[in-house]
Amino acid sequence: MADIVENPEAYFRAMMPERDSLLRALEAEAESESIPIVGPVVGELLFVLARATQAKNILELGTATGYSAIYLGRGCEPAEGRVLSLEYDAELAERARKNIALANLSQTVSVFEANVIEALPELAGPYDFVFMDIEKQDYGVALGHLEAIVRPGGLLIADNTAFKDADAFNQAIFSAPGWQSVQILAYLPMHSGLHDGLCFAVRL
Ligand SMILES: C[S@@+](CC[C@H](N)C(=O)[O-])C[C@H]1O[C@@H](n2cnc3c(N)ncnc32)[C@H](O)[C@@H]1O
């Protein structure tokens, strides 16, 4: 049997990605106001994927205060990528714009106030990378629209796929001929709980 470290969660907790004062302030706000943000591990994952794929055209579904959008923006900046992030709560959208300005990312990240389900059919794409983090019961409907606007080889990451409400999406993408996907049940400190699902999919 492989030798696994004694207490994997404690081991990896010691490797929590570092954050600057802005991201830490957004985490503190999220904690005190119960705003569900992705936290530093998924945030860093988004940065890594945006940077590694050299994504130029990123779509985020569900902005909240702009925490994950800042990671995506920082990830795609060197490739002169752009992030469009959709949020239907006007007050949150405005807060996100202010936070994105504080991160000096206003040229890179745009926040658009819209209901994702209404806006998706109007978007032309093509997108290289989509991060989906809206109400989980809407993931399945969103998926139907994403097939048309994510380019072949484009990446879709869906957060919180261990939530019961994500089941319709999970079943749909598992059998969708237009996507190849994998679900990871992961240890994600400062996320929705300590463990949650993440779906990684590529558009075929
Ligand atoms: C989990 S939070 C997003 C957190 C953000 N991605 C982060 O980690 O910083 C979900 C956000 O999506 C918004 N939202 C949920 N359903 C939506 C929809 N159908 N259209 C637009 N925004 C939606 C909510 O108002 C909320 O701010």
Per-residue pLDDT tens digits for 99-121? 999 999 999 999 999 999 999 99
pTM (predicted TM-score): 0.98
Q: How confident is the model at residue 2 (pLDDT cuts 50, 70, 90)?
A: confident
Q: Is residue 99 within 8 Å of residue 111, measured between CB atoms?
A: no
pLDDT at position 192: 86
pLDDT above 80 (res 7)? yes
Domain that holds residue 93: 20-203
Residue 98 lies in a domain: yes
Residue 11 lies in a domain: no
Q: How confident is the model at residue 1 (pLDDT cuts 50, 70, 90)?
A: low
Residue 2 lies in a domain: no
Q: Which atom of ligand 1 is nearest to the CA of 64?
A: 27
Q: Is 196 in the pocket of ligand 1 (CB under 6 A)?
A: no
Residue 1 lies in a domain: no
Residue 161 lies in a domain: yes
Q: Is residue 87 within 8 Å of residue 64, measured between CB atoms?
A: yes
pLDDT at position 142: 98
Q: Tally Cβ neighbours within 10 Å of residue 169.
A: 22
Q: Is 88 in the pocket of ligand 1 (CB under 6 A)?
A: yes
- Separation in Å, CA 33 to CA 26, 37, 169: 10, 11, 28
The total number of structural domains that make up the chain:
1
As a whole number, mean pLDDT of residues 58-79 equals: 98
Q: Which atom of ligand 1 is nearest to the CA of 60?
A: 6
Residue 7 lies in a domain: no
pLDDT above 90 (res 65)? yes
CATH of the domain at 199: 3.40.50.150
Q: Is residue 116 within 8 Å of residue 86, measured between CB atoms?
A: yes
Residue 8 lies in a domain: no
Q: Is 165 in the pocket of ligand 1 (CB under 6 A)?
A: no
Q: Is 92 in the pocket of ligand 1 (CB under 6 A)?
A: yes
In a 3-state reduction of DSSP, which class is residue 52? Answer: helix
